[in-house]
Amino acid sequence: MDEERLTIIQEKLCKKLDDKRYRHTLGVMYTSAALAMAHGQDVKRAQLAGLLHDCAKCVSNKKKVKICQKHEIPVTPFEEENPFLLHAKLGAYYAKKKYGVEDEEILSAICCHTTGKPNMTPLEQIVYIADYIEPMRDTAPNLGEIRRLAFQDLDRCTYKILKDTLDYLNSSPGKIDIATEQTYQYYKERIENRYGNQ
Ligand code: DGI
Ligand code: FE
Ligand code: FE
């Protein structure tokens, strides 16, 4: 993958996303690259995954469901009720079909970037984390601590983000996707097994 390919994709995305989303996208791209450097991962692949993670974000919710059904992308009843969640799955589909990405790990990083999933690869964790900490983000609690953790320990950082996301979502009942809950439980156990109960 070369710089030219990244530039071509950026130009295309700039037209598909609103201005704020595009700037967030660039933030996630560079933050993914920085995290890849810190954790000995492939910088260009992290950059490409970060760049494309929200490529389906600016499709209307109604269309998201329709397009998924049309292309036989499975939609759970929870996703049908909360269709914004589908931008991740649909994003992976677009990355493949519209942006020519064939790297399965990049596609899966895009696919799970909103809820996470148990036992993510370092690349998947990097995109999940970069989405939460990129410089334009400023409302989440504990951002300072989470940003520092991101460069030190991917598992502990993933766990902290999931914990804070669940705390935030728990204020509105019936809002938690099973995937988010399962991911949280997985990383909770992983951290406990590593460090003992804390
Ligand atoms: O697309 P972005 O806004 O950049 O970020 P994202 O794809 O991570 O989506 C962020 C939102 O997703 C955030 O407000 C928390 C929400 N989210 C994550 N897991 C769940 C969830 N929302 C619901 N309703 N249920 C979940 O399980
Ligand atoms: Fe997203
Ligand atoms: Fe995002």
Q: Number of C-alpha atoms within 13 angstroms, CB side, residue 50?
A: 30
Q: Which atom of ligand 1 is nearest to the CA of 54?
A: 1
Nearest ligand 1 atom, CA 168: 15
Residue located nearest, by CA, to atom 25 of ligand 1: 176
Q: Pocket around ligand 1: residues whose beta carbon is below 6 Å from it?
A: 24, 54, 57, 82, 113-115, 131, 165, 169, 175-177, 180
Query: What percentage of residues in the chain have a pLDDT greater than 90?
Result: 93
Distance 2 CA to ligand 2 centre (A): 25
Which residue's C-alpha comes closest to atom 6 of ligand 1?
A: 114
Q: CA-to-CA distance for 146 and 160, rounded, in angstroms?
A: 7
For residue 116, give the ligand nearest its CA: 1
**Residue with the two structure tokens 């677009």:** 94
What is each CA distance from 150 to 43, 84, 117, 164, in whole angstroms?
15, 26, 17, 14
| The predicted structure's pLDDT at residue 1 | 66
CB atoms within 5 A of ion ligand 3 belong to 54, 131
Residue 65: pLDDT band (50, 70, 90) is very high
Asked if 158 and 187 touch (Cβ cutoff 8 Å), the reply is: yes
Helix (H) or strand (E) holding 65: helix 61-70
Task: Report, in this order, helix, strand and coil percent for the chain, each rounded to 5.
Answer: 70, 0, 30
Tens of pLDDT, residues 13-47: 999 999 999 999 999 999 999 999 999 999 999 99
Per-residue confidence (pLDDT) for residue 174, from 0 to 100? 83
**179 CA: nearest ligand 1 atom:** 27
Write out pLDDT tens, residues 81-95.
999 999 999 999 999
pLDDT tens figures, 130-159: 999 999 999 999 999 999 999 999 999 999
Atom of ligand 1 nearest to the CA of 57: 1
Tokens at residue 68, please?
A: 């998924």
Residue 65 tokens, joined: 């469901």
Instruction: Enter the pTM of the model.
Output: 0.97
Within a 13 Å sphere around the CA of 151, how many CA atoms are in the beta-carbon half?
A: 12
Backbone angles phi, psi at 151, to 5 degrees: -90, -5
The sign of the torsion formed by the CA atoms of 80, 84, 85, 89 equals positive
